[in-house]
Amino acid sequence: MRRKAVYLRIPIVLAILLATAGGSAYAEWTWTPEVGRWINPGRQPRETAALQFQYAETLLADGDTEKAIREYEKVLRYFPDSNYCDLAQYSIGRALEAQDDYRDAVDAYQKVINEYPNTRLFEKVLEKQRNITDHFFQLGVERREKFILLRGSGFDRAIETYRKIIDNQPFSEFAAEAQYRIGLSYFNMELFDEAAAEFQKLIDYYPASDWTVEAAFGTASCTHSQALPCEYDQTAVEGAISKFNYFLRNFPDSSRADEAREKIRELKEIVAEHEFEIAMYYHHKMRYESARLYLDSIVREYPETKWAKKAGETLGEMP
């Protein structure tokens, strides 16, 4: 019985200590007879969702982002059926963005759409996600230029968020641009097969989009990039020429047309040089008929190249 009495006195002693302690950590707690327990008023929400949201907004405006997030979360926790929940969730994203925590900000914004499908903030969420994704993309570009081994991180995050944008609004011009930028992200990472597949998705899914022109040029550029290794690959070079010719036939007035023609000229120079090397191999072996076949082909098929001039001169000097 005596031991039991001691145990019963412990909560009373703790209560007295909490009530009389001078430390700020204890002073915040208050005994509430209505619920029969100690509460911390500082952790309780304001009387209404509107007041709670406004309080969080004041904290965010003052730059106290961590506390602002906690107060926005109270709107969600204590007023789950209020009209302020989507605003609070959206503002959590704003606070995270202010902390430069862009990846979590994207997820916070996505929750607005996922959990409040009728929200009026839909367009604002898309705009926020787009701006952050463009930031990721630019980060990838900067890292690619400065630190080639780190080039993927920004692009990887950009791809992840661009896919969210497409899922949110799959049939818009906004989604078409996001699809193009996914392809461009892979292209910048020198993952040309993946890039070509993403560009082709844009052509297949958004044929009427203005971004189709860029995607068609992108697929040709992927093949072009794969055709320029140190070792000559005839199939890759011919494929790249074919794709750029396809681009010019379908988009002759594109602002990319001159660039496509320059790429074709560059590729033809590569083919002509390779043909000339073979011709000279036969020439040195005094197999002149075989050499003449290659030299004639260069003059006929690639007359605009510098190798056509050399081939013509060589033909004129052959026995």
- The answer to the question of residue 84 being in a domain is no
- The answer to the question of residue 311 being in a domain is yes
Q: Are residues 259 and 280 in the same domain?
A: no
- The answer to the question of residue 286 being in a domain is yes
> The tokens of 199 are what?
């560009």
pLDDT of residue 41: 54
> The tokens of 45 are what?
């929400």
Q: What does the alpha-carbon distance between residue 201 and residue 180 come to, in Å, rounded to a whole number?
A: 9
Q: Are residues 287 and 252 in the same domain?
A: no
Helices then strands, each counted (H, E), the chain? 15, 2
- The answer to the question of residue 66 being in a domain is no
Domain count across the chain: 3
Instruction: Tell me 298's DSSP state.
Output: H
- The answer to the question of residue 108 being in a domain is no
Q: What does the alpha-carbon distance between residue 315 and residue 319 come to, in Å, rounded to a whole number?
A: 9
pLDDT of residue 7: 45
Q: Are residues 256 and 310 in the same domain?
A: no
Task: Say what angle helices 122-146 and 85-98 make with each other, to 10 degrees.
Answer: 20
Q: Which residue has the tokens 């002693």?
A: 13
Q: Are residues 315 and 289 in the same domain?
A: yes
Q: Are residues 239 and 291 in the same domain?
A: no
Half-sphere exposure for 265 (CA within 13 Å, toward CB): 9
**What confidence tens digit (pLDDT) does each residue in 27-36 have?**
455 555 544 5
Q: Which of 40, 43, 14 is nearest to 28 (CA)?
A: 40
pLDDT of residue 30: 57
Q: Are residues 253 and 279 in the same domain?
A: no
- In the chain the first and final C-alpha atoms are separated, in Å, by 126
Domain harbouring 179, CATH code: 1.25.40.10
Q: Which of 35, 37, 69 is nearest to 55 (CA)?
A: 69
Kindly report the number of other CB atoms within 10 A of residue 36's CB atom. Answer: 7
pTM value is 0.71
pLDDT of residue 145: 60
The secondary element (H helix, E strand) that includes residue 23 is none
Share of the chain above pLDDT 90, in %: 65
Q: What does the alpha-carbon distance between residue 96 and residue 171 come to, in Å, rounded to a whole number?
A: 29
pLDDT of residue 27: 47
Q: Are residues 167 and 258 in the same domain?
A: yes
Q: Are residues 172 and 259 in the same domain?
A: yes
- The answer to the question of residue 105 being in a domain is no
pLDDT of residue 33: 57
Q: Are residues 261 and 208 in the same domain?
A: yes
- The answer to the question of residue 170 being in a domain is yes
pLDDT of residue 214: 95
Q: Are residues 244 and 306 in the same domain?
A: no
> The tokens of 230 are what?
């140190």
Q: Are residues 181 and 255 in the same domain?
A: yes
Q: Are residues 254 and 286 in the same domain?
A: no
- The answer to the question of residue 91 being in a domain is no
Instruction: Tell me 183's DSSP state.
Output: H
pLDDT of residue 82: 94
Where in the sequence is the domain holding 172, given as residue range(s)?
162-265
Residue segments in the chain with a per-residue pLDDT below the cut of 50:
1-10, 13-14, 16-27, 34-35, 39
